[in-house]
Structure formats: structure tokens, C-alpha cells
Chains A and B, each alone.
Chain A
Amino acid sequence: MRLLSTTIIALRALRRNKLRSMLTALGIIIGVAAVIAMVGIGNGAKSQVEAQVASLGRNVVTVFPGSFNAGGMRGGWGSTSTLTIEDTDAIVREVNGVVAVSPEVRDRNQILANGLNWNTQVNGESTDYLSIRAWDLSDGAMFTETDVKGATKVCVIGSTVVKQLFPDTDPLGQTLRIRNIPFRVLGVLESKGFNFFGSDQDDTVIVPYTTHMRRINRRTTVSTILIEAASSEEMQSVQDDVTALLQQRRGGREPDFTVRNQLELAQTATATTRVMTSLLGAIAGVSLLVGGIGIMNIMLVSVTERTREIGIRLAIGAHDGDIRVQFLIEAMVLSSLGGIIGVILGIGISQTLANLNGWPVLVSTNSILMAVGFSALVGVVFGFYPAHKAAQLDPIEALRFE
């Protein structure tokens, strides 16, 4: 009952000083809004990077060729082609937890069609490629196992190639020339956009790897081997097994390959945004702290300024506890109110930023709860000292205060 009275008294006191109350709460409002918007931007950036990593494919383990070593001069990774179709077959045969494998042959070529030409990435892949890259066709069909066995001259093309070579016509069934060899277009890939290394993933032509090796490039090695693990948990074991298998096949020679999994890539990529998110969050947290100190400052000024008022209250029968609780409630109402307005403002800022800049912004429930909880805590912590100071006042001294 006494608490209810004190609450009424505290709310009346805040209402008496509307402007000051709002200005005091402003510190918390800005702090909370900053936390929510900053963490939202950070999380949005993280999710975008994660989406880009995911666009590379599902649970992908990649075997890269090794470096050459000629007369003591060592090249970098990928400076020589050491991976073969036999390696690929061995992986399919012997490694558990593998659902799809594609030996990849990469090449850049000038291509012609429709009286236009364009230089693009021409990749030889197996039929599993689309599954590994989690990529769908927007039109037509993928080449089949028969096409791979027969090294048929067929291809599927990315949307950028469609734009460059078939601006006005339906590319399906059309002929496209790579090194003067005619290829029939079987399908069009869905647009995937840029990857996070900045290259256009849609600027590509996919042909069966056999066709690529026998007709376009005339080579016996593959550029990389793409492997899809059954699940993300199995990525590590697949990586280890593939490493062991290829090592065994090379009979104790210095390893001329390296095996990476997508998780490592994802971790590297998200590490940056995680640092950014923590940084933004920390800066916003500091502003919340400053807001809290603002509340303490105003409450201390308020205690001094209202010394006489406190004296009156004590004289007409307020207990020390009533005064303490009143000031504490005032501080908490200010900070909680600031917290709530801050949340609304923070969400608003996030949405505005998202709309204006096209940034992805993810406002998480966690950051809202944390910001509001922290702001209420700020009220208690920074309100306590002024409240204590007010309660310690002597009524006679307080009444005499000018």
C-alpha cells in the first residue's frame, strides 16, 4: 500500500518536470536505440555473409590441387594440376558420408552465339554440380549422366550469359560456340548474384566435365574436386577421409593437394562481421552507460534542488524509506520509459536504414530484451546513490535550505 502511494508520488514528481524528465530519459532512449540499431545492422551483415557462404553450396568440401616443385622452386597452391578423374572415382568409392561429387574443370573462353560474343567462365562439371552448389535452374534442364558418359556438346548457362548473348531470344535449344565447337543450350541457371569475393556467379557456362576435358581443353587433370557431405556434422570426417585417401593414393610423396571445407570459409567470413557486431554493440553500450550517468547526474541535481521539497515531505510524515523509494522509482521510470521508447526508435532507425541503404537489418529479440533489461538496471544502479542521499537528509536542515 505504501509502495503504491510512493509510486503515485514519484509519478506526480516526474509529471511536474516533464521537460527535464524527457531530457533525462533521452540519454537512455538514444543509448537503447543505438544498441538495437547497431546490433541489428551487425546481425544483418552477418546474415548476409552467411547467405553468401551458403550460396557457395551445401556442406561443400573442396579439394584444391597442390603446388609444383621443380628443381627446388615451389609454386603456390593450385600452380599445378595434380587431381585426376581417378582421384574423384576413388573418393566416390571409398569415402563415407559423401552424397555428391563433381570434378571441376575451369577455363575462361571466348564464346559466340546469336552474332554476339562474350568472354566467360566455362566450367566442366558432373551432373551433381547443381546439388552441390544448391543451385536451381530457372528454365530447361540439366545435362544427364548419358551426356557426361558420351561427352555430349551441351551446356547450361548463367543469367549474365543469357543477358549478353541472348538479350531478346529464348536461349533454350539455341547453339552457342566455345572454341568454335557448337554447344546446345539445355537450361538456364537461376540468378545467384555476386559471391563475396566480388565475382559474378551468373557469368558462367556449365558443360559436362568429360566434354570439357576431351573437346575444349584436352587435359587429363581436373582443377578442383567439389564434394558434398551428407550433413554439416560430417564435413570434418569427409575432409579427413578425403585427405587420408588422396595421401594414400600418392604413396608417401609430399602432398600435392589441399582439402578445405565450407565451414572454415564461413568462419573466416563471419569472423569479420562478428568483430564488427561486437564493436558496434560496444560503442552503443557505452552510450547506454553515458545515458545512465546522465540519469544519476540529473537525479543528484534534483536531490539538491528539491532539498526543501524533501524537507516538507519528511516534516509531514514521509519515512526515510519513502523518500528513497520515491527517487529510486523516479530513476527507474525514467530509464524504463527511455528503454521502451528507445526500442521503438531503434526498430524504426533499423527499418529506415534498411530501406534507405538496402542493408539487411536484423533486430533480434535478444538485443531488445538485453537493452531494456540493461536500461532498467541502469535506473536502479544510478538511481540508488541519489535516492540514498535524499533519504539521509535531516528534515530541519532540509526545510531551512534555500
Chain B
Amino acid sequence: MSQPVVKLRDIRKTYRSGDLEVHAVRGISLDIQPGEFVAIMGASGSGKSTLMNTLGCLDRPTGGTYYLDGVDVSSLDREARADLRNQKLGFVFQGFNLLARTSALENVELPMLYAPKRAGAAEMKRRALAALAIVGLAERSDHFPSQLSGGQQQRVAIARALVNEPRLLLADEPTGNLDSRTSIEVMGVFQRLNEQGITLVMVTHELDVANYCKRILVVRDGLVVRDEPVQNRSIAFAELAKLHSAESAAKLNAGIKP
């Protein structure tokens, strides 16, 4: 078996507020292999956000070791972790977090501007357009976020996360601000990316969203209490087709009613 993308060993995180110690994560060990699609579930306060921030190298654990793509992250300083986030990780947030009044293209170019080795302007544009094409928005590259729907904005955010060809894509409640139909569309994008070999980890508290993933981790009180593959996995394009026929039927029924 190849080297895991994520290797956590006895990760602990303790927050200290005054005399009170809060153990947000209390010893999680975990391997995520290339090509996996993992959902992290848990109630608020379960420690799933802390776990996610640790995976995203935004936060440093107070104990344990974290190997990202074979690199020991626990010992890196702020700048080195910034470079690691830029090169090996892609982030998708619940609130899309696009820069306002900035075209989709420029939003997607942003991670390349912070890359340790910056590409030329033409190369950046080419790669940004390619990333937008992957999420099906190439023809809207000059649109501002305010001119795009929620689902489209989230797809721009996914393109931004993809543009530096990360080893791991992290999504924090990516469907939290979307309606159910757009949620399925976004999950469809994730599934397609996963089929192309991209490793994904997403946090969600909705089971039907988690069902689009391949593996579900349930976190409670700072520990992984369940870790199992998804049974009866939902496939986005099939769900969309179902939704479509249901809608047509509803319209038909509405037409019959006097």
C-alpha cells in the first residue's frame, strides 16, 4: 500500500481559558489513503472543527504527530505551514469565502499568487481557466461572486481549491449554505473529482450528505467513536435524475388539478 496522505498519531488539542482546560481532541489516530473520500460527522463541540483545523494546518495540536503526505507538520513554523497549505491543501468553506467584487478568474488565481514559485501571468490564467472548466464554469470566469448563484459560487471556491493541484481537498460544511438540489450538484462535483483520484475530507452534520462519501468518521467528545465505510452510497447524478422526474411528476399533477 502506498504512503497515506494523512497520518495522525495520538493527536491531542487542549485549550486553556483561565484555569479551565478544555480537551477538544483527546488522542485521535487516523490514516487516510490516497483516493479516499471521508466525511467527518459530529455534533457541535464534538471536536470535529478542531480536527479539521488540525488537518488543514491552520492549528497546531498540543500533542501527537501529524504527517501530511509524509511530512511531519507538527514541528513546522507559521510560514512553512502557510506554504504547505498553499501547495498540498485545498480549502472549501461553508460560506464560499470568495473575494467580493473580484472576478471568478481572479479568485481562482489567488492561491497561485501566494505560491512559493509564482507562474507567469499567462500560465496563471491558463491554469485558472482549466480549474474553472473542471467545475463547469469556464464561460463565467469574468463574473463577480454577486452575479453567481450559491452553487456556482461554491464551484468557483472548489476551482480555487484545486488550482494548485493539492494532495488533499478539505471541505468544511460545503453544502451548509445551499439548498438540497444545489447540495447534490456540489456533491456531484466532489464525486467526480474523487473519481479522478483526488483525496477529499469533508465535515458535515447531515447524514444524507455524508452518504455521498466513501467513509464516515463520527467524532464525539474529542474521540473517533465510529469509523466505517458507507453502505448504500448515494450517487449524485442518479439522485439528480430522480429529483428531476419527481419534479416533472409534481408539475403534471399540478396540471391535472382543477
Chain B stretch 106-130: residues in CB contact (< 8 A) with chain A: 106, 110-111, 113-115, 117-118
The answer to whether residues A16 and B114 also contact, given A317-B86, A396-B58 and a CB cut-off of 8 A, is no
The answer to whether residues A319 and B79 also contact, given A5-B118, A399-B97 and a CB cut-off of 8 A, is yes
Does A17 touch B at the CB level, under 8 Å?
yes
Majority secondary structure, A binding face: helix
Does A376 touch B at the CB level, under 8 Å?
no
> In the complex, what's the smallest C-beta–C-beta distance from A12 to chain B, in angstroms?
6
Evaluate contact between B114 and A322: CB separation under 8 angstroms: yes
Q: Which of A27-35, A121-129, A151-159, A305-313 contacts B (4 or more CB under 8 A)?
A: A305-313
Residue of B with least CB distance to A318: B114
Does B222 touch A at the CB level, under 8 Å?
no
Evaluate contact between B82 and A319: CB separation under 8 angstroms: yes
Bound Cα distance from A9 to B114, whole angstroms: 10
Evaluate contact between A315 and B85: CB separation under 8 angstroms: yes
Does B56 touch A at the CB level, under 8 Å?
yes
Does A371 touch B at the CB level, under 8 Å?
no
Q: List the A side residues contacting B86 at CB < 8 Å.
A: 316-317
Q: List the B side residues contacting A12 at CB < 8 Å.
A: 102, 106
> In the complex, what's the smallest C-beta–C-beta distance from B70 to chain A, in angstroms?
19
Q: List the B side residues contacting A8 at CB < 8 Å.
A: 113
The answer to whether residues A16 and B102 also contact, given A319-B82, A399-B97 and a CB cut-off of 8 A, is yes
Q: List the B side residues contacting A395 at CB < 8 Å.
A: 58
Scoring B78, B93, B102, B113 by chain A CB atoms within 10 A of each residue's CB, the highest score goes to B113
Per-residue CB contact flags for chain B residues 157-200 toward chain A (1 = under 8 Å, else 0) read 00010001000000000000000000000000000000000000
> In the complex, what's the smallest C-beta–C-beta distance from B16 to chain A, in angstroms?
15
How many inter-chain residue pairs (CB < 8 Å) link A and B? 65
Q: List the A side residues contacting B106 at CB < 8 Å.
A: 12
Which among B56, B82, B101, B102 is the interface contact of A318 at CB below 8 angstroms? B82
Evaluate contact between B59 and A313: CB separation under 8 angstroms: no
Q: List the A side residues contacting B53 at CB < 8 Å.
A: 396
Evaluate contact between B118 and A314: CB separation under 8 angstroms: no
Evaluate contact between A317 and B102: CB separation under 8 angstroms: no
Bound Cα distance from A399 to B160, whole angstroms: 16
Which among A9, A16, A321 is the interface contact of B113 at CB below 8 angstroms? A9
Q: How many residues of A contact B (CB 8 A)?
A: 26
Q: List the A side residues contacting B83 at CB < 8 Å.
A: 317, 319
Bound Cα distance from A311 to B95, whole angstroms: 13
Residue of A with least CB distance to B157: A312
Does B241 touch A at the CB level, under 8 Å?
no
> In the complex, what's the smallest C-beta–C-beta distance from B155 to chain A, in angstroms?
17
The answer to whether residues A315 and B87 also contact, given A5-B118, A322-B114 and a CB cut-off of 8 A, is no
Q: List the B side residues contacting A311 at CB < 8 Å.
A: 97
Does B235 touch A at the CB level, under 8 Å?
no
Does B250 touch A at the CB level, under 8 Å?
no
Bound Cα distance from A399 to B82, whole angstroms: 15
Residue of B with least CB distance to A2: B118
Q: List the B side residues contacting A308 at CB < 8 Å.
A: 97
Evaluate contact between A16 and B85: CB separation under 8 angstroms: no
Which among A16, A17, A314, A317 is the interface contact of B115 at CB below 8 angstroms? A317
Bound Cα distance from A4 to B114, whole angstroms: 11
Does A320 touch B at the CB level, under 8 Å?
yes
Per-residue CB contact flags for chain B residues 136-150 toward chain A (1 = under 8 Å, else 0) read 000000000000000
> In the complex, what's the smallest C-beta–C-beta distance from B39 to chain A, in angstroms?
21
Q: List the B side residues contacting A314 at CB < 8 Å.
A: 82
Bound Cα distance from A9 to B164, whole angstroms: 18
Evaluate contact between B99 and A312: CB separation under 8 angstroms: yes
In the A-B complex, list the 9 residue pairs whose CB atoms are closest, starting with the nearest: A317-B86, A16-B101, A317-B114, A5-B113, A316-B111, A318-B114, A312-B97, A317-B85, A319-B82
